[in-house]
């Protein structure tokens, strides 16, 4: 497992681990289902947070993983490719294993492609370590698609979802197909996963929007079209009940940008010199682009077209005409226009920074449902274990972060309905847009401590004086906001006192 030395263990996770240890100490000697269950929960709590990328076949899951990491790792294609799950985790050096055997990147691409290798290899899982920044916060699992012609694919994906603390649901169309809706219902029911998923642990990604661009209307931005499609998806009940939101991305442009090199840049620079009208006429299809009368060899154009797609070629050439003059600059600009930076940010802020809260909440939910009736004939032993189990359940009531997280969950899944401005304030105060004091108050990072304190006090007074206290739904949100602002005031005052004392 890769090392993530800069990520400290949170206080709430320490308390949860102590509470689980107390239950285990009170269990009667000898093996039991309850002991085994609690051991597994403790193991899950100690492990890295895991985010599964899952969805129907041919939705671009592996392309999305490559783009998120900024690396050319997993085999991709326009047919079902992935048949073996791949676990991607942080490590100082890139190392690839098929089961436990170290392999090369070329072997990975060959062995992970059903058409070139296939299930006859007997490989059960690929494990890929590397120094990719996003994986300091969580491990990723790339899964086979649901609904393939091979029943084993569904089984393998469900088995991997047991590991997952959160899910990225990959979608492809504005109107959910019956199959996509069925997959979302399986996620919501927790089939194969560690309990039911909710908007707090599941978000959607609308992929491969490059295909929505047409050279007849070159000014069309696929991300704008995708944003409308994403809003349409969120109006559908299966999505609204489960997903935090749906992100539109040009995942193929993002993946191609990550692997852009000097040769690619030189070719794109030459292509950008062609008359815009001629280039657009060639971008109707990749095949037409490859066969057109244009600079750069047909073979190279076909290779670029398959990687970037026509929209990516159009976008890259336009950026070069506008003054982009280096590989690094073009890579950055293409990535920014792919929609991936915002998705990466949300994955870190919503999932990564809350990894312990999400894991503890799910552990508490599962432990709270355990039954000790068959544990022992000794009533005193059962009472001791039940008391210890209640200590685990009480974490949500007694811990500020967990209590706040519970309110956030109810807000996202629709059990709490409050005015949008109040919901936005709570989401920000709860750390959805960043965990620092300045982020929570919507101020710049350089804001002086005195201004942070004054702002928090003003917000605290406003929440206490709000007329929304008459709304039973709003009360719990207001109370959570108040507790967060009280904590901010306390921490800022502590920081000011330390600075004034010269410590």
Mean pLDDT, residues 261-285 taken together? 95
Mean pLDDT, residues 144-155 taken together? 76
Report pLDDT for 5: 40
Mean pLDDT, residues 98-111 taken together? 87
Residue 473 CA to residue 206 CA, distance in Å, equals 32
Report pLDDT for 4: 43
Residue 194 CA to residue 488 CA, distance in Å, equals 33
Residue 2 CA to residue 131 CA, distance in Å, equals 9
pLDDT for residue 25 is more than 90? no
Percent of the chain with pLDDT over 90: 38
Mean pLDDT over each residue of the chain, to the nearest integer = 85
Residue 315 CA to residue 332 CA, distance in Å, equals 13
pLDDT for residue 441 is more than 90? yes
Cβ atoms of 38 and 367 within 8 Å: the answer is yes
Residue 194 CA to residue 38 CA, distance in Å, equals 14
**Could you give phi then psi for residue 7, rounded to 5 degrees?**
-95, 105
Cβ atoms of 125 and 84 within 8 Å: the answer is yes
Angle (CA) 213 218 224, round 5°: 55
pLDDT for residue 55 is more than 50? yes
- Residue 472's Cβ-side half-sphere holds a number of Cα atoms within 13 Å equal to 1
Q: How confident is the model at residue 383 (pLDDT cuts 50, 70, 90)?
A: confident
pLDDT for residue 185 is more than 50? yes
Q: How confident is the model at residue 415 (pLDDT cuts 50, 70, 90)?
A: confident
Tokens representing 451 are 């201004």
Which of 349, 430, 431, 357 is closest to 396 using CA atoms?
A: 357
| Stretch among 260-269, 353-362, 394-403, 417-426 having the lowest mean pLDDT | 394-403
Angle (CA) 134 135 137, round 5°: 85
Report pLDDT for 2: 42
Report pLDDT for 491: 92
Report pLDDT for 397: 73
496-499 contacts: CB < 8 A, separation 24 or more?
Answer: 496/449, 496/450, 496/453, 499/449
pLDDT for residue 322 is more than 90? yes
Q: Mention every residue, 6+ apart, whose C-beta is less than 8 A from residue 100.
A: none
Give pLDDT tens digits for 451-474: 999 999 999 999 998 888 778 888
The domains located in the chain, with CATH, are: 1-46+352-415 (no CATH), 50-250 (3.40.50.300), 261-336 (no CATH), 421-503 (no CATH)
Distance of CA 439 to the CA centre of its chain: 20
pLDDT for residue 497 is more than 70? yes
In eight-state DSSP terms, residue 416 is: S
Report pLDDT for 359: 83
Report pLDDT for 411: 85
Report pLDDT for 3: 41
Mean pLDDT, residues 357-374 taken together? 79
Give pLDDT tens digits for 242-269: 888 899 999 999 999 988 999 999 999 9
For β-strands 95-98 and 126-130, DSSP reports them as antiparallel
Percent of the chain with pLDDT over 70: 92
């Amino acid at each position: 497992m890769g090392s993530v030395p800069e990520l400290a263990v949170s206080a709430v996770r320490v308390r949860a681990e102590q509470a689980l240890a107390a239950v285990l100490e009170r269990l009667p000697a000898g093996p039991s289902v309850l002991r085994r269950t609690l051991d597994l929960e403790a193991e899950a709590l100690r492990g890295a947070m895991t985010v599964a990328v899952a969805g129907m076949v041919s939705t671009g899951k592996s392309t999305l993983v490559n783009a998120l990491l900024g690396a050319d790792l997993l085999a991709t294609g326009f047919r079902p490719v992935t048949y073996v799950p791949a676990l991607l985790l942080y490590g100082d050096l890139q190392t690839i294993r098929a089961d436990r055997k170290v392999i090369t990147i070329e072997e990975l691409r060959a062995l992970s492609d059903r058409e070139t290798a296939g299930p006859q290899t007997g490989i059960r899982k690929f494990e890929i370590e590397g120094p990719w920044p996003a994986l300091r916060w969580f491990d990723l699992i790339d899964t086979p698609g649901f609904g393939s012609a091979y029943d084993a694919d569904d089984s393998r994906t469900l088995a991997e979802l047991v590991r997952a603390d959160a899910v990225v649901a990959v979608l492809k169309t504005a109107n959910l197909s019956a199959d996509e809706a069925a997959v979302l219902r399986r996620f919501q029911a927790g089939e194969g996963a560690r309990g039911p998923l909710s908007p707090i642990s599941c978000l959607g990604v609308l992929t491969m929007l490059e295909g929505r661009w047409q050279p007849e209307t070159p000014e069309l931005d696929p991300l704008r079209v995708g944003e409308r499609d994403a809003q349409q998806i969120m109006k559908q009940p299966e999505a609204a009940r489960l997903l935090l939101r749906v992100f539109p991305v040009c995942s193929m442009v993002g993946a191609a940008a990550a692997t852009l090199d000097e040769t690619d840049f030189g070719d794109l620079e030459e292509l950008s010199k062609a008359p815009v009208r001629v280039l657009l006429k060639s971008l109707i299809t990749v095949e037409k682009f490859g066969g057109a009368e244009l600079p750069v060899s047909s073979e190279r154009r076909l290779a670029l077209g398959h990687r970037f797609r026509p929209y990516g070629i159009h976008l890259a050439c336009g950026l070069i005409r506008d003054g982009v003059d280096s590989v690094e600059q073009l890579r950055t600009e293409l990535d920014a226009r792919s929609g991936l930076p915002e998705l990466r940010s949300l994955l870190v802020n919503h999932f990564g920074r809350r990894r312990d809260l999400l894991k503890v909440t799910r552990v508490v939910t599962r432990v709270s449902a355990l039954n000790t009736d068959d544990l022992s004939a000794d009533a005193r032993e059962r009472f001791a274990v039940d008391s210890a189990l209640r200590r685990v359940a009480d974490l949500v009531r007694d811990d500020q972060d967990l209590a706040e997280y519970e309110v956030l969950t109810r807000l996202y899944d629709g059990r709490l309905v409050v005015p949008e401005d109040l919901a936005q304030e709570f989401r920000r105060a709860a750390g959805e847009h960043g965990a620092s004091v300045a982020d929570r108050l919507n101020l710049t990072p350089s804001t002086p401590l005195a201004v942070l304190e004054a702002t928090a006090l003003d917000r605290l007074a406003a929440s206490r004086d709000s007329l929304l206290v008459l709304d039973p739904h709003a009360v719990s949100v207001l109370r959570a906001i108040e507790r967060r602002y009280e904590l901010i005031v306390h921490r800022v005052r502590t920081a000011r006192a330390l600075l004034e004392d010269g410590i």
